[in-house]
Amino acid sequence: MHASSPSLFVAILIACLIVLILVIFFTATMIRYQRRNLALYREKLAAEITTLERERTRMAEDLHDELGPVLAGVKLKLNSLDRLNKEDQEVLDKVHSDIAGLLNRMKDISNDLMPVTLIKKGLIKAVDQMADEINHNNGLHVMFSSGKLPELSQPVVINLYRICQEIMTNTIKHAGAKELSIHLQRIENKLVLVTVDDGQGFDHRQFSSQGPGHGLVNLHNRTEMLNGELYVDSKPGNGTKYRIEIPI
């Protein structure tokens, strides 16, 4: 009986080692599977967002290059008409005003699709201009600041711009805030974007697709595309803080 005890112990030890090896193998396999799925998800997300931005650029160019000149030409022809009687002149003035309004609206839509400033002057100038426009047209005061940034790829530039745009839009629509501060800087090998507002805040664990949660999903998707991390600090009555870290 006693002679078999070492053999039994060895058998139990071997069995435990086999189980441990199987557990490690299973865990490693699951991790590889999850990483592969995450990589595929990121590739799919990146492709979808890239396609979306490409389509936005195309539409903006079409508006600017094709429809814009047509409307401008019509406006010039109206300006060249001889004086008409009072009734006809009033109609002409109304048409002239409508076309001018349409031209301005078309410029706004084209700028929303793909801002000219972003293409010609870069990320910092574009975000600064967007903040300035909000300061002149809304009850929200946006304070934007930035450290010196390295040269960034187009996907990073476009997605960071869209992230800032999403945060500003969400703050206007849902936060009820008076002030929003945005700071972008490089810290070691990361781009760090921090935004803080003094609005009503929200429980980001219980968001809905109709409220600020929809914007939160967009922020998460664009951050995920850049292999970044999104941190949200918000609760009802205490404002909202976003911190986004993008590896570079």
pLDDT of residue 7: 75
- Asked if residue 232 has pLDDT above 70, the reply is yes
pLDDT of residue 208: 47
Rounded-to-integer distance, Cα 22 and Cα 81, Å: 87
- Asked if residue 210 has pLDDT above 70, the reply is no
The Cβ-side half-sphere exposure at 105, using a 13 Å CA radius, reads 7
pLDDT of residue 16: 82
Any bridge partners for residue 232, and if so which? 242
- Asked if residue 2 has pLDDT above 70, the reply is no
Higher-scoring residue by pLDDT: 42, 212: 42
CA of 55: how far to CAs of 8, 58, 89, 130, 179, in Å?
A: 70, 5, 41, 21, 33
pTM of the predicted model, to two decimals? Answer: 0.63
Q: What is the pLDDT of residues 144-174, one digit of tens each?
A: 999 888 888 888 888 899 899 899 988 988 8
Identify the band that residue 212 occupies on the pLDDT scale cut at 50, 70 and 90: low
Any bridge partners for residue 195, and if so which? 182, 242
SS3 string of 89-151? HHHHHHHHHHHHHHHHHHHHHHHHHCCHHHHHHCHHHHHHHHHHHHHHHCCCEEEEEECCCCC
What class has domain 122-247?
A: alpha beta
Those residues with Cβ within 8 angstroms of residue 110's Cβ, 6 or more apart along the chain or in another chain:
60, 63, 64, 68, 116
- Asked if residue 19 has pLDDT above 60, the reply is yes
Q: What is the pLDDT of residues 50-103, one digit of tens each?
A: 776 666 666 666 666 666 666 667 666 666 666 666 666 677 777 777 777 777
**Ranges 10-19, 80-89, 212-221, 230-239, most confident:** 230-239
- Residues in the chain, total: 248
Higher-scoring residue by pLDDT: 225, 62: 225
Higher-scoring residue by pLDDT: 8, 226: 226
- Asked if residue 192 has pLDDT above 90, the reply is yes
Identify the band that residue 240 occupies on the pLDDT scale cut at 50, 70 and 90: very high
Residue spans per domain, the chain: 5-112, 122-247
pLDDT of residue 143: 94
Q: What is the pLDDT of residues 95-133, one digit of tens each?
A: 777 777 777 676 666 666 667 778 778 899 989 988 998
Q: What is the pLDDT of residues 22-54, one digit of tens each?
A: 888 777 777 777 777 666 666 676 666 677 666
